[in-house]
Amino acid sequence: MSRRALRSRDPGGRGEYPWDIPFRRAVRHLRLGRMDPRVLEQGRVWVDSASRVLPLRSLSDAHLENVITMLRSRAVVLLLDYALAAGLGRFSPRLEVPLRKGDADSVALEWLTSTPLWLALHREAARRAGRSGPQSLGATARGAWVVRTDGPTVVVDLDGRRVMAVLANESDPARGTVWRHVVVKLPVRIGCPLVVEPVPGGVGEGDGVNARRVVSLHEVPAAVATSDQAIAEHARTVTRLSSGRSPDAIATEFRTRQFIEAATDVRAVWAALDVLMHRHGVEQAALVPSRLRDCSATVNDVDLFVQSRADVDLPALQREVDDVLGYRVAITTPRSYGGHAIDDVADHALPLAPGS
């Protein structure tokens, strides 16, 4: 994969993109994968790489996380694109462009974190993570609660007198959903140890969660508590949103940290790529470490793996994907991986769309 950080996103120049009309109307004319940097000047909507205008509250948790991750990783490019477009007179900037010298990453990140969009995204993340929730659960508390501790995240079912320890980055939603029948000693207070005891006359135990310091408390909405898996996934989401952990940071032999970072670059324009997949009749797409098919590939090389029952014009799809990304990510099919079974490929893959 021949990668560049990101090519300049001046969307087509003054003659091809309607800079003179309001931002919310202009973005309808963006080409796939392009970005109008004026999105940073406001805090109500996100414009994805398929030019869809989405209210921040309509984003799924995974999409919200993906946007925040993408902005953070591309802070330098976003600042350059904003300064370039403003300097060329495309629009009258509402944000001050920093002039001081220094480390580019630090300067860009400081600028990004002061933009209205960034602040609004984090207000939304904080709202979802419930950081303004209760400081303690008293004797009258009822229902199910996600209790973040300095160890595992714990789901406490006060009515059912049971707890479930949840791994924040577990990739299989069916795992980590084992309840332990215990008595949780109330009150449960932030900053204090979580104390659990066996049910009188029972054999329940709370190894691994007992005496862990409580970091935050989040009530499980009744609409979420439809199954053990749904509760566990909600607990993972709350943990990620409140702690900043990546939902895909689960390493395997091939899914290395470097691969995950490279895949995040591709995911930045997943909405545009999803449009291309549908346009070419692709039924499933995933991001796969290139080393599964090519032992000479580097640890951060990414394949765009596609599956379809119908024939796909791969050369045409490759050209359009290259245009959206600005660099080459090889498009592969099940035949590309030789002796590897599809299940083996899936074990190391990441979904193209965040949260899918």
Over the stretch 30-89, which tens digit does the pLDDT of each residue have? 999 999 999 999 999 999 999 999 999 999 888 888 898 889 889 999 999 999 999 999
Could you give the C-alpha distances from 99 to 44, 77, 83, 118, 314, in angstroms and in order? 27, 16, 10, 20, 45
Handedness of CA 121, 67, 37, 270 (dihedral sign): negative
Phi-psi region of 128 (alpha: psi -120 to 50; beta: other; left: phi over 0): alpha
* pLDDT of amino acid 238: 75
In angstroms, rounded to a whole number, what is the distance separating the alpha carbons of residues 56 and 43? 8
DSSP H/E element including 45: strand 45-47
Residue type at 194? L
Domains of the chain, earliest start first: 13-129 (no CATH), 136-243 (no CATH), 257-351 (3.30.460.10)
* Other CB atoms within 10 Å distance of the CB of residue 164: 22
pLDDT at 12: 55
Low-confidence ranges of the chain (pLDDT < 70): 1-15, 126, 130-133, 167-177, 200-210, 223-224, 226, 243-250, 356
pLDDT value of position 190: 87
> What pLDDT does 132 receive?
52
Structure tokens at 156: 């406490």
Q: What is the pLDDT of residue 223?
A: 64
- Burial string for 309-328 (b: 16+ CB within 10 Å, else e) reads eeebeeeebeebbeebbeee
The DSSP annotation for 143-185 comes to: SEEEEEESSSEEEEETTTTEEEEE-TT-S-TTSS---EEEEEP
